[in-house]
Amino acid sequence: GEDVEQSLFLSVREGDSSVINCTYTDSSSTYLYWYKQEPGAGLQLLTYIFSNMDMKQDQRLTVLLNKKDKHLSLRIADTQTGDSAIYFCAESDALRSYNTDKLIFGTGTRLQVFP
């Protein structure tokens, strides 16, 4: 079945690293994504990782994928107050269903960065 879970809240001090975790249930997921939602705005794609990769780094962002445990994480280095937002992980079932590539989103993790 399709289920993506995240912890609801994370609070970190400015300058520290943040690690947001996500677990998913479907091992056939091909792409996994991280989106950011700021207050009053839509979701913005931060990064994605293909399922045959273990890690992807993009500036301050590092994505780790453990396929065996179906665990995805997003690490934000040197977290800033501007990083305060809700972070969603999502999986694509593009190979599971030929006709669609809909994304299944997690519940979202609210990251609060304090000075």
Report, in Å, the least distance between residue 14 CB and another protein: 27
Report, in Å, the least distance between residue 58 CB and another protein: 13
Q: Strands of the chain (E only): list them.
A: 4-6, 9-13, 18-24, 31-37, 43-50, 55-58, 61-66, 71-76, 85-92, 103-105, 109-114
Nearer to another protein, 51 or 62 (CB): 51
92 binds another protein per the rule CB under 8 A: yes
Burial 61-96 (b: 16+ CB within 10 A, else e): ebbbbeeeebebbbbbeebeeebbbbbbbbbbbbee
Nearer to another protein, 42 or 115 (CB): 42
Taken as a whole, the chain contains a residue count of 115
100 binds another protein per the rule CB under 8 A: yes
Nearer to another protein, 15 or 55 (CB): 55
Instruction: With contacts defined by CB under 8 A, name the span among 11-19, 21-29, 39-47, 52-60 that binds another protein.
Output: 39-47
Residue for token pair 């950011």: 36
**Binding residues for another protein (CB under 8 A):** 30-31, 33, 35, 40-45, 48, 50, 88, 90, 92, 94, 97, 99-108
